[in-house]
Amino acid sequence: MLEAPRLTIRGGRLLDPVSRLDRVLDLHIAGGRVLALDAPPEGFRPDRILDARGQIVCPGFVDLCARVREPGDEHKATIASEVRAAAASGVTTLCCPPDTHPVIDTPAVARLIHQISKRHALARVLPIGALTQGLEGQTLAGMAALKQAGCLVLSQADQPIRDTQVLRRALEYAATFALPVFLLPLDPDLAAGGCAHEGVVSTRLGLPGIPESAETVVLARALVLAEQTGARIHFQRLSTARGVEMLAEARARGIAVSGDVAMHQLFLTEQDVATFDANCHLIPPLRTAADRAALRQGVAEGILGAICSDHQPHELDAKLAPFPETAPGLSALETLLPLGLRLVEEGVLDLMTLIERLSSGPAEILGREPGRIVPGAPADLCLFDPQVNWTVCPETWISRGQNTPFMGQRLRGRVSWTLFGGRIVYESWRVGAHPA
Amino acid sequence: MTHLHTQLDAQGRLRHFLTIEGLSRKLLIELLDQAEGFLGVAQQAVKKVPLCRGKVVANLFFETSTRTRTTFELAAKRLSADVLNLNISTSATAKGESLLDTLRNLEAMHVDMFVVRHAESGTAHFMAAHAAPHVSIINAGDGRHAHPTQALLDMFTIRRHKGGFDHLRVAIVGDILHSRVARSQMLALKTLRVPDIRVIAPRTLLPAKVEEAFGVSAYYDLAEGIRDVDVIIMLRLQRERMSSALLPSEHEYFQLFGLTEERMKAAKPDAIVMHPGPINRGVEMDSAVADGRRSVILEQVTNGIAVRMAVMAMCLGSQGSK
């Protein structure tokens, strides 16, 4: 790996949610770490100066759910392709669920992902270990070995644990090693065959529905077990208003649980399915406008401490079929920041809170030191221009998967540079092409 | 929520027929009027009109069907079109070919219209979105979504018996949850301004928010639901529903929701009984009702050909004038 250069980031607005820093200052970087703010240390001579006037400089984003499709589904995407997309999106750490092929239920698979991602060194890819062997929900995975192999958390990806006793034991065993457990609250029987929110739109279109209770029933069960076992559960990709409410109640009672939401859930609703757009075939499904409002409020109030991309790149054919036969999921890394900025524009969050939900919030859920802009901190940074307008189009899309319902839309805000370990891992061709 | 942009061409003419949703009352009436004209074709010595001579229609049935496929075939032949019937269960898709490849291969053989039936909702819409500009798609039933020609032939039958729509009470009885026919009927009845549309079923067979989604009233009691109605549309109950957690038994279903002459007394004396077929006698209705004087079930079948001729002629006609 090349040695990190000495950099000066000039005139950017530094935003650090952890130290509550919000000032226009120069930033100096050396040896992969933040060296100084404002004035450079005596004798410091940067290899390069990045003109960040008019731009935001913040800690790199931590994405709690992004599929890289490797190993096993390289026809959809690869670690190489998706870390490039991550770098272009300001994401410096991404967590990859264990539903790879083979499943991340042995240290060997976890190490393989580490090795491949280190080879590309554009972002940190953290494999999430499987909670049960083969994600089959029956036998516990070797959690201690997975932890040793670098898995910071465990999950079932989108697979259920039907047997409540197995779930209880899995939580207890994970708690033995202080490993947080990520769960997608979705009852497999209530959701069976469903491909859209059970409501007005699915009824009109005749699409088999997934009721709200598919989320809340599982949530209720897991909350009871969290209280009993003392395990730390993080609920991924909540989609319902009632789910947010239940999480808030549990947190108020002092239960160690947290939650996140996928960015697209804060924008799209069941109405977006009305034209059978397969890019809106998602699990959990797009819910109602009232659910969306509650999710937004949950993010604003911190009940949902993180926003993830739920990035799921697919090959073209995966979406070229009648809606129920298509593969669920959207390619989402590259719209993460601009959609987040739209939340700011719409008054849902202030900019500092957005950065927090994208960086320090998810880092804390992972049990990692949150990114900061203070001397000595690792220089994992995202620099973005909040004003630049761009159109989502295949020509400039970096992820291998182009399956996004936002294709063709005009968005505002784009990453200019991403620094990972003090190295520039992404530099937009647009840098300097717009007024400072 | 509209499919207008995919069903109508730039001049507002019918190009595909995918769903009732988004179509105007005027267009539906126009189709019904045109179907009236086609009813007489079957009475002629030569049961054909040359409206679609030289056009090629392919019946693409990914789900088995006898009645619908046959009436579409007859409709196309009576319009003098050439008809291809593709046996999908033994064809390319069974060898792994995608739906889109099937469509493109047949387009390469210069098929002008595809009549498509498929088990998944949205299939006709998907095919229309990918069809070549000169090709029309007719939805012959997609999943639980739509069966618009069936609904139109039902409207045609209702109009012939009741004279119009704006004074009617109509009840649809049975498995609304899984029924594409019911969804298209509710939309058609609404578009044609039927003031009182009722759906009657146990809660397990009613889709979520059906009243809000279609502007209808839900009833869980047959006697109450058919009180003073002008039209009763019975739906087919698939026997496999009995073995799932939806219903306890055929017997109990018939006891509560089966139509008998005795129960018919709650409806208006001149109420008609309809059924899209095939009927499960003794499950949805008893034979006395199915074959009784108020049953118009066989008329529906006859009318189906005329209505499908009207739909095909309109779609193929919009192609011809390009």
Q: Does the beta carbon of B118 lie under 8 angstroms from any beta carbon of chain A?
A: yes
Mutate to test the interface with B, among A189, A195, A198, A203 (most CBs of B within 10 A): A203
Query: Residue B21 has which token pair?
Result: 């949703």
Assess whether pLDDT exceeds 60 at residue A385.
yes
Instruction: Look up the CATH number of domain A59-366.
Output: 3.20.20.140
Global confidence as pTM: 0.94
Is there a contact between B114 and B138 (Cβ–Cβ < 8 Å)?
yes
Determine the average pLDDT of the residues in A246-253: 97
Q: How far is Cα A70 from Cα A235, in angstroms, rounded to an integer?
A: 24
Which has more pLDDT, B322 or A177? A177
Structural class in CATH, domain A7-58+376-393+410-435: mainly beta
Q: How close, in Å, is residue A174 to chain B by CA atoms?
A: 36
- pLDDT tens column, B102-150: 999 999 999 999 999 999 999 999 999 999 999 999 999 999 999 999 9
Q: What is the pLDDT of residue B16?
A: 97
- 3-state DSSP call for residue B42? helix
DSSP structure string for B91-112: SGGGGT--HHHHHHHHHHTT--
CA pair distance B127, A222, nearest whole angstrom:
42
Per-residue pLDDT at B11 exceeds 90: no
Q: Residue A320 and residue A202: Cα distance in Å, rounded?
A: 20
CB–CB of A267/A395 below 8 Å?
no
Angle between helix axes A79-88 and A107-120 (nearest 10 degrees) is 60
**B:184-203 residues touching chain A, CB 8 A cutoff:** none
| CATH topology identical between A7-58+376-393+410-435 and A59-366 | no
Give the pLDDT confidence score for residue B157 in this predicted structure.
98
Residue B84, token pair as written in the block: 């291809």
Residue B318's pLDDT is what?
A: 77
Q: Is B123 on the interface with A (CB under 8 A)?
A: yes
Q: Is the pLDDT of residue A411 over 60?
A: yes
Q: A422: which residues sit within 8 A by CB, 6+ positions away?
A: A4, A5, A7, A29, A30, A31, A32, A33, A378, A379
Distance CA B300, CA B311 (A): 16
Provide, rounded to the nearest whole percent, the portion of chain A with pLDDT above 70: 98
What mean pLDDT is predicted for residues A272-296? 97
Which pLDDT value is given to residue A368? 95
Q: Is B11 annotated as a binding residue?
A: no
Average pLDDT taken over every residue of chain A: 96
Nearest beta carbon to residue B210 from set A203, A275, A321: A203
> What is the three-class DSSP state of B232?
strand
Across the interface, which of B98, B121, B125 has its CB nearest the CB of A324? B121
**pLDDT exceeding 70 applies to what percent of chain B?**
94
pLDDT, residue B4, reads: 41
Q: What band does B2 get if pLDDT is binned at 50, 70 and 90?
A: very low
Confidence grade of residue B264 (pLDDT, cut at 50, 70, 90)? very high
Can you tell me the ipTM of this complex? Answer: 0.93
SS (H, E, C) A65-79: CECCCCCCCCCCCCH
CB contact at 8 A, A330 and A405? yes
Domain with CATH 3.40.50.1370 in chain B: 4-146+302-320, 148-296
Is B148-296 a domain of CATH 3.40.50.2020? no
CB pairs under 8 A between A and B: 78
B264 — contact with chain A (CB < 8 Å)?
A: no
Euclidean distance between CA atoms B141 and B18, whole angstroms: 9
- Buried (b) or exposed (e) across A400-435, using 16+ Cβ within 10 A? bbbbbbbeeeebebbbbbbbbbbbbbbebeebeeee
pLDDT tier for residue B66 given thresholds of 50, 70 and 90: confident
Q: Write out pLDDT tens, residues B182-198.
A: 999 999 999 999 999 99
Classify residue B82 as exposed, middle or buried by CB count within 10 Å of its CB (0-12, 13-18, 19+).
Answer: middle
CA angle B313, B317, B322 (to 5 degrees): 165
Q: Which residues of B form the catalytic set? A: 67-68, 95, 117, 147
- Domain range list for chain A: 7-58+376-393+410-435, 59-366
Distance CA B138, CA B318 (A): 14
Confidence of residue B87 (pLDDT cuts 50, 70, 90): confident
Judge whether B195 is annotated as a binding position: no
Q: Could you read off the pLDDT of A322-351 as tens digits, one per residue?
A: 999 999 999 999 999 999 999 999 999 999
Quote the tokens at residue A344. Answer: 């700011």
pLDDT classification of B90: cutoffs 50, 70, 90: low
- Residue A432 pLDDT greater than 70, yes or no: no
Three-state SS for A384? strand
Instruction: Quick: pLDDT tens for A103-122.
Output: 999 999 999 999 999 998 99
The three-class DSSP label of residue A171 is: helix
The band of B240, judged by pLDDT with boundaries at 50, 70 and 90, is confident
Active site residue A99: no
Would you state the pLDDT for residue B238?
Answer: 80
Q: Does B148 show up as a binding residue in the annotation?
A: no
Cβ contacts of A166 within 8 Å, gap of 6 or more:
A132, A137, A138, A140
Q: What token pair was written down for B4? A: 């207008």
Q: Say whether pLDDT at A1 is over 70.
A: no
- The neighbouring-strand residues paired with A63 are A94
**Topology of the domain comprising B4-146+302-320:** Rossmann fold (3.40.50)
What tokens appear for B230 in the block? Answer: 């002008």
Q: For the segment A371-384, what is each residue's pLDDT rounded down to a tens digit?
A: 999 999 999 999 99
Averaged pLDDT for residues B249-261: 94
The residue annotated as part of the active site, out of A291, A310, A380, A385, is A310
Answer yes or no: do B145 and A201 touch at CB < 8 A. Answer: no
Q: What is the mean pLDDT of residues B61-88?
A: 92
